[in-house]
Amino acid sequence: MSAPQKPTPPAAFSPEDMARRRRRSIALALVLGGLVVFFFVVTLVKTGPAILNRPL
């Protein structure tokens, strides 16, 4: 029976990989931010102007 081998560490990311990952993260953040703004606007439109006529 042989001794279990140690797992090799993963290879380091290249600068190109890091740049690709950063662009993908920025794109995902923009899409999620756009969805938040979209849902906010849809909520305001569905509520209508009656939201301003409430007692404070």
Distance CA 27, CA 33 (A): 10
Model pTM? 0.65
CB burial string 12-34: b at 16+ within 10 A, e below? eeeeeeeeeeeeeeeeeeeeeee
Residue range 1-56, pLDDT digits in tens: 567 788 888 889 899 999 999 999 999 999 999 999 999 999 888 888 777 777 76
pLDDT in the model for residue 39: 96
Please name the residues in contact with 51: beta carbons below 8 A apart, sequence gap of 6 or more. Answer: 44
Distance CA 32, CA 2 (A): 50
